[in-house]
Amino acid sequence: MKTFLFFALYFLLAGTVSTTSPPRYEAIFNFGDSLSDTGNFLLSGALAFPVIGKLPYGETFFQHATGRCSDGRLIIDFVAEAFGLPYLPPYLALKEGQAFKHGVNFAVAGATALDAEYFYDQKIGSVLWTNASLNIQLDWFKKLKSSLCTSEQECDNYLKKSLFFVGEIGGNDYNYAAFVGGSIKQLRASVPFVVEAITKATTSLIEEGAVELVVPGNLPIGCSAVYLTLFQSPNKADYDPRNGCLKAFNAFAKYHNNQLKKALQKLRENYPHANIIYADYYSPAMRLSHAPLHHGFSSGTLRSCCGGGGPYNFNNSARCGHIGSKACEDPHTYANWDGVHLTEAAYRYIAQALINATFTTSSLYA
Ligand SMILES: *[C@@H]1O[C@H](CO)[C@@H](O)[C@H](O)[C@H]1NC(C)=O
Ligand SMILES: *[C@@H]1O[C@H](CO)[C@@H](O)[C@H](O)[C@H]1NC(C)=O
Ligand SMILES: *[C@@H]1O[C@H](CO)[C@@H](O)[C@H](O)[C@H]1NC(C)=O
């Protein structure tokens, strides 16, 4: 399967994909949260975040709000483009008789890896944007499967040629806990549960017939405007002098990623026929933070493009899209879009890094 991927990417880099060669994958199925939601949260009512349904969200590429939490395309959109496949339709938009053989997106903004009950048990259920956790999204896939293929052999053949993205997911499990005052120690204690939820879902997909799977890790949350604002510190030592990010939260994101990588290694041993790829979003995002100018981010990576003031242009009383906020003129020079989510420009860079890393397979299983 590695050779398979190699050739896919070879053609891609040679610029001959889509027009002259058939797509290497028949379909992409995506599970996750706002990092990859292409419309499910908006379609479900978006009660916790209605501004997602209007400009400036979507201003850059689509020129209208699509439900994507960014100014434009997301990592999953760039991946679809790279494989010559259409942008993934959100599951909740599917209509009877609609063709969705090229994939479906089950991601929902605000979704968690752990089920909603976990948060209700912790007495923080009321902060959830959605109950559509990873398990719910998995149920949606299982329900849809019978309309994608019928016989076991047909399903095996079809799913074998499909690419599955399990995440990024888990970031919100930590966000919710941190935003209601959870300490980093408490966050760390929840990592094994979050990682287990991700590997269980991955296992479940393999049992359903998935063979090609990508499992992304968490972003450097210590560099995100919302964390930098909410956890602002008078102590200079709390900041990484190389980039101005909060050290403790980045160390936490790395901790989660390392635990996830370990768990995936175990999964590879249990399912040697599956190609389980860990997608490192953390490192390319850090490269941007270390050398923003070099990568074209002339407005820096810490301040968000769209917001209502403050040192990082993130103001909880005037978040992007709300009265008192405004979007920058040049979002392609920013990495952070609305304080929480990244810009299309940053997502493009991370997607390219993912495609490149997959191409040079040695770093794949790091
Ligand atoms: C999640 O489920 C709980 C319990 O059924 C319900 O009270 C709550 O409104 C739901 N939350 C969302 C955001 O849908
Ligand atoms: C945050 O937004 C509120 C409401 O618009 C405003 O009154 C306040 O001055 C803003 N804070 C900063 C730091 O800009
Ligand atoms: C990906 O590889 C291409 C071709 O070698 C290179 O030009 C580009 O800078 C790389 N992008 C990233 C984000 O690593």
Cβ neighbors of 142 (< 8 A, separation 6 or more) are 208
DSSP bridge pairs for 294: none
309 lines ligand 2 (CB under 6 A): yes
What is the C-alpha to C-alpha distance for residues 227 and 230, in angstroms, rounded to an integer? 5
Q: What is the pTM (predicted TM-score) of this model?
A: 0.92
State the DSSP string of 100-119: -TTEEE---TT--SS-HHHH
CATH fold for domain 2-220+250-292:
Rossmann fold (3.40.50)
363 lines ligand 3 (CB under 6 A): no
Give the Å distance between the CA of 20 and the centre of ligand 2.
53
Considering the candidates 34, 190, 224, 289, report the single residue annotated as catalytic.
34
295 in catalytic set: no
Per-residue pLDDT of the chain (366 residues; tens, 9 = 90+): 444 444 444 444 444 333 444 558 999 999 999 999 999 999 999 999 999 999 999 999 999 999 999 999 999 999 999 999 999 999 999 987 777 899 999 999 999 999 999 999 999 999 999 999 999 999 999 999 988 998 999 999 999 999 999 999 999 999 999 999 999 999 999 999 999 999 999 999 999 999 999 999 999 999 999 999 999 999 999 999 999 999 999 999 999 999 999 999 999 999 999 999 999 999 999 999 999 999 999 999 999 999 999 999 999 999 999 999 999 999 999 999 999 999 999 999 999 999 988 744 433 333
Kind plus residue range of the DSSP H or E element containing 277: strand 275-279
116 lines ligand 2 (CB under 6 A): no
3-state secondary structure of 7: helix
What is the C-alpha to C-alpha distance for residues 123 and 89, in angstroms, rounded to an integer? 34
Q: Read off the amino acid at residue 214.
A: V
